[in-house]
């Protein structure tokens, strides 16, 4: 399901961000951001993290690539953003590293992004656990880093979900008009990633 997000000031062209862990692609263009669900690479054939560009585009490439194909500048393989002939795969980690969109979505994205469009990919395939006060780990560090970039968290990024992290989560949720609990699940993490993409655009 696509989700429109309030406008943001933007001075350059379109930008695509892909968050592998939450299986979303954000397209920022014309002072607005749209979110699309995607399929990503399996753990054995991961989607490559990094800062890439679209270097080639093709209409109706056929086969598993669906309605559109956009090749990325990854130097060690043929990776791209494309449609799919298997819509049930969207939202899952099942590809050989490419990013799959529903065909109707890839047509819309393709129309709006020229060759040269930046594509930023982050995250890895993992089980997203529910985080609350007392939790520790790299996923807590991710949340703290996002909140720090958003100006909600000023303490150290140490991977411990303490009272200051909980308060920052509550502030963020209130600002986003979400239920203001101190808990971070998949939906809250998605909201943080989307807000972060808007903040740096």
Nearest to 36 by CA among 84, 97, 74: 84
Burial of 183 (0-12, 13-18, 19+ CB in 10 A): middle
Question: How many residues comprise the chain?
Answer: 201
Query: Strands 50-59 and 68-72: what pairing?
Result: antiparallel
Identify the active-site residue in 19, 31, 51, 82: 82
Rg (alpha carbons) of the chain, rounded to whole number: 17
For residue 82, indicate whether it is catalytic.
yes
Tokens linked to 53:
């560009």
Could you tell me how far CA 115 lies from the centroid of its own chain? 20
**Is the distance from CB of 190 to CB of 138 less than 8 angstroms?**
no
Which one of 19, 31, 98, 196 is the catalytic residue?
98
Q: Does 135 participate in catalysis according to the annotation? A: no
Handedness of CA 118, 123, 129, 135 (dihedral sign): negative
The residues annotated with a catalytic role in the active site are 82, 98
């Amino acid at each position: 399901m696509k989700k429109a997000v309030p406008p943001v000031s933007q001075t350059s062209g379109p930008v695509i961000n892909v968050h592998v862990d939450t299986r979303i692609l954000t397209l920022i263009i014309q002072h607005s951001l749209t979110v699309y669900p995607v399929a990503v690479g399996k753990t054995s054939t991961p989607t490559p993290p990094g800062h890439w560009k679209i270097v080639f585009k093709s209409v109706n490439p056929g086969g598993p690539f669906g309605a559109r194909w956009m090749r990325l500048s990854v130097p060690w393989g043929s990776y791209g953003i494309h449609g799919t002939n298997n819509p049930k795969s969207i939202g899952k980690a099942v590809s050989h590293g490419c990013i799959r969109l529903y065909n109707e979505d890839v047509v819309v994205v393709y129309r709006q992004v020229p060759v040269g469009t930046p594509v930023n990919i982050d995250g890895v395939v993992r089980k997203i656990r529910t985080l609350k006060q007392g939790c520790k780990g790299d996923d807590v560090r991710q949340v703290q880093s996002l909140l720090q970039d958003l100006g909600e968290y000023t303490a150290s990024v140490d991977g411990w979900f303490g009272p200051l992290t909980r308060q920052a989560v509550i502030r963020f949720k209130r600002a986003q008009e979400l239920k203001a609990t101190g808990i971070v699940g998949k939906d809250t993490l998605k909201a943080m990633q989307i807000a972060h993409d808007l903040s740096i655009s």
